[in-house]
Amino acid sequence: MHFISQDLEDYIEQHSGKEPELLAALNRETYQKILLPRMLSGHFQGRVLSMLSKLIRPINILEIGTFTGYSALCLCEGMQENGILHTIDIKEELVDFQRKHFDKSPWGKQIVQHLGEAIEIIPNLDVTFDLVFIDADKENYINYFELIVPKMNKGGVILSDNVLWSGKVLEPLNPKDISTKVLLDYNNLLINDPRVETVLLPIRDGLTVSRVL
C-alpha cells in the first residue's frame, strides 16, 4: 500500500498534526499484541480522519470495521458533545482490547460497540448518520453502501478505505480475486451514483470521500 517513498511518508507525518499520546500508546500496543497490526489506520491517516470529522462536526458516526479502535478514536475528535459513535466488528477477541482504550479517552461513554455481521446490524440501527467510515471486508463494500445511503443525513459524508487495494485496481483482474473485483465495481459505483459526489484521495491505500446529496 506504499505508493511513495518512506522518506516522503516520514516528511508528511512530520508536517501533519502530532499523534495524540493516547493513540500513540494504542498504536504501540497493537503492534505488540495483535495480529496484522498494519490494518491500523496509523498516524497520518488518523490525522486525516480527525480533520475530516472536525470539519463535518458529526452528531452520529458509524464505523464498519473497528479493529483495535484507533480510527474510531480519531473520528470521535470532531464529534459534537452529544454525539454517539457506533462501531461494528466481527472479532470477539478484540472487544475488550477496544473498550480498554475507548474508556481511556474522553468519549468512552459515547462509543457503542456492536459485535457481529455489519449487514445484519446496520438495518437495526434506528439512527441517521452524519459520518460513516467503511473499513471492513471488501467483498461487502457495495452492500454496506446500499444499506448506509438511506440512513445518511443530507450532506453527510461516507469515507471508504483501501479503495486502491495496493494498486491492484490497475492490474489485470484475476477472476478468483473477488475483493479486487468488488472494489473496482464499488469505485465505479461511487463516481456514477447520483446520490453522492465523490473524490478519491491517494492517502495510504486509497481513501474515498463521498458526500451525500
Q: Which residues of the chain have pLDDT under 50?
A: none
65 with 134: CB under 8 angstroms? yes
Q: Check: CB of residue 66 under 8 Å from CB of residue 134.
A: no
Separation CA 182–CA 138 (nearest Å): 7
Q: Pick from 154, 150, 130, 157: which is nearest to 61 by CA?
A: 130
Q: What are phi and psi of 70, to 5 degrees?
A: -60, -50
Instruction: Report pLDDT digits (tens) over 30-57.
Output: 999 998 888 888 899 999 999 999 999 9
For residue 206, what pLDDT is reported? 94
Residue 1: the pLDDT is 58
Using an 8 Å Cβ cutoff, are 202 and 148 in contact?
Answer: no
Full 3-state SS string of the chain: CCCCCHHHHHHHHHCCCCCCHHHHHHHHHHHHHCCCHHHCCHHHHHHHHHHHHHHHCCCEEEEECCCCCHHHHHHHCCCCCCCEEEEEECCHHHHHHHHHHHHHCCCHHHEEEEECCHHHHHHHCCCCEEEEEECCCHHHHHHHHHHHHHHEEEEEEEEEECCCHHHHHHCCCCCCCHHHHHHHHHHHHHHHCCCEEEEEECCCCCEEEEEEC
Which residue, 88, 91, 86, 89, is CA-closest to 75? 86
Considering the entire predicted model, what is its pTM?
0.95
User: CB–CB of 193/151 below 8 Å?
Assistant: no
Q: Amino acid identity, residue 194?
A: P
